[in-house]
Amino acid sequence: MAGAGEGTGRVTAQLPILQVVVPLLAAPICAVLRHGRAAAWLAVLASWSVLAIALALLGQVMAGGVVSYHIGDWVPPIGIEYRVDIVNAWVLVIVASIGAVVTPYSVASVEHEIASRRIPLFYAAYLLCLSGLLGITITGDMFNVFVFLEISSLSAYALISLGRPRRALTAAYRYLIMGSVGATFIVIGIGLLYVMTGSLNMADLAGLLPGVWDSRTVKVAYGFLGVGICLKLALFPLHLWLPNAYAFAPSPVTAFMASTATKVAVYMLLRFFLSIFGAAFSFDVMALDRVLLPLALVAVVSMSLVAIFQVDVKRLLAYSSVAQIGYMILGLSFASITGLTATLLHLFNHALMKGALFMALGCVVYRIGSVHIDAMAGLGKRMPWTMAAFVVGGLSLVGVPLTVGFISKWYLILGALEKGGPWIAVAVLVLVTSVMALVYVWRVVEAAYLREFSGDEPTGEAPLSLLAPTWVLVAANLYFGIDAVRTAGVARQAAEVLMAGIGS
């Protein structure tokens, strides 16, 4: 073929689109496969190539700046543009890494939790969800965001509904309603922006919007986009769909969603509000920081508190997720480079820790079928590797040094202290909630290690195909906790880009 002669050169130029096309084309193929295993391995292959592409893209962006890809050869804003800067390259790597780890993990887990004839469809939905999230992240077109948002959401509803308890159905339904409302709000917001500027291209909008900043329409658009995205990212008090959705979904789905979906929503928030509207508009005109700060604080405190009293460990971690989202938003509300660095770092770090934790719980479900805290008594002896993974993940969640959680906390507190004055109280609150995290994590650890197993049937350790991916994430928790220079460097660069905005 034409491109064959200059093979590598061509492929690198096509990386942005391949990032999404590869999993998206794998999905329909999965759907028509007969054997679950075949679909599973196709999905694994796709998810690994996605990670390779994401890493290559990050390399490209770090070496040569923004990569713009014109789909259909139409020059933006006429056509749709894929636009990769360090911010979304970073988020792509996060999503892709989790995908690459969770997919092989799901092979055994899914066979255990889902009826065999649905497995090919499961992988189709899973890949659709993955490519939807990647598409939201990579695109430079507002409406394209909506389209891919719906791809990921629809498949997510289906994936969640596959959980065994019937409450998975109502959780999925609730998520569908709230998610659709969120998406519709986003569509309204996009429409209002479009009517004022005539453009849907993000970079283009960033240039056009300053001309119409004063209009009420733009401000209302801002509000609608904000509410819509916050519904998707489950920011308190719009989080009601999340706990049950995470608690009752199949294990790999929970691990995947918890580590990626809300991260991408946070990315949307950052991209829309800081790049497109511009940091200046967001912080000076719309007082975004002052709106988000109290919400974030309430989220962190109240949800940590609620988590302490949960008996279902999956739900406990789900509430913890809402609290952790609060940390991310808190970093944003500092309106500073350090604060944003904390947010962007925590996107990655939280993905690692929650991924590891939910995957460890998946191992527990695989063996004992329950994650009730009483059912986990004595598990430390019976499933030592699984519970060790949980402990490390838990320590990371608490923010113990040498884990990624600590790095996030460090930057968050540093960001608060840099602002000085009353912000010290915010730093204190972050630390106090870390102690709350210690309490809820420790309840589980105590049950597993210091209580005796009451049942009689012996339980073995989870199979290697579940443990290995789990431990990959656990190792990542430790590795990036010990060597965070690179991750923090990327996060900081991304934060600087966001604060500067696309236009400048």
450-489 residues near another protein, rule: CB under 8 A: 450-451, 481-485, 488-489
Query: Binders of another protein among 315-344, rule CB under 8 A?
Result: none
**φ, ψ dihedrals at 69, nearest 5°:** -125, 125
Position among 45, 287, 311, 464 found at the interface with another protein (CB under 8 A): 311
- Assess 147 for contact with another protein (CB under 8 A): yes
CA atoms within 13 A on the CB side of 364: 29
Whichever of 3 and 59 has its CB closer to another protein, that residue is 3
- Assess 143 for contact with another protein (CB under 8 A): yes
Structure-block tokens of residue 140 = 């430079």
- Assess 220 for contact with another protein (CB under 8 A): yes
Sketch the per residue contact string, 412 through 451, with another protein: x for CB under 8 A, - otherwise: -xx--xx--------xx--xx-xx--xx--x---x---xx
Whichever of 17 and 55 has its CB closer to another protein, that residue is 17
Whichever of 284 and 483 has its CB closer to another protein, that residue is 483
Position among 49, 194, 291, 500 found at the interface with another protein (CB under 8 A): 194
- Assess 7 for contact with another protein (CB under 8 A): no
Position among 37, 166, 287, 464 found at the interface with another protein (CB under 8 A): 166
- Assess 238 for contact with another protein (CB under 8 A): no
Query: Binders of another protein among 339-378, rule CB under 8 A?
Result: 365, 369-370, 372
Position among 56, 291, 400, 475 found at the interface with another protein (CB under 8 A): 400
Distance CA(437)–CA(427), nearest Å, equals 15
Whichever of 90 and 411 has its CB closer to another protein, that residue is 411
Least distance from C-beta 158 to another protein, angstroms?
Answer: 3
> Angle at which helices 86-113 and 337-368 pack, to 10 degrees?
10
- Assess 191 for contact with another protein (CB under 8 A): yes
Least distance from C-beta 303 to another protein, angstroms?
Answer: 18
Query: Binders of another protein among 263-292, rule CB under 8 A?
Result: none
HEC readout, 362-403: HHHHHHHCCCECCCCCCHHHHCHHHHHHHHHHHHHHHCCCCC
Least distance from C-beta 118 to another protein, angstroms?
Answer: 6
Q: Which helix (H) or strand (E) holds 360?
A: helix 337-368
Question: For residue 482, what are the contacts with CB-CB under 8 A and spacing of at least 6?
Answer: 402
Whichever of 356 and 368 has its CB closer to another protein, that residue is 368
Question: For residue 313, what are the contacts with CB-CB under 8 A and spacing of at least 6?
Answer: 361, 364, 371, 372, 373, 376, 444
Least distance from C-beta 430 to another protein, angstroms?
Answer: 9
H-only helix segments in 420-484: 423-450, 464-482
* Secondary structure (DSSP) of 248-313: HS-HHHHHHHHHHHHHHHHHHHHIIIIIITTHHIIIIIS-HHHHHHHHHHHHHHHHHHHHHT-SBH
Tokens 């700060």 correspond to 293
Least distance from C-beta 417 to another protein, angstroms?
Answer: 4
Query: Binders of another protein among 168-187, rule CB under 8 A?
Result: 169-170, 172-173, 176-177, 180-181, 183-184, 187
| DSSP structure class, residue 457 | S
Distance CA(389)–CA(385), nearest Å, equals 6
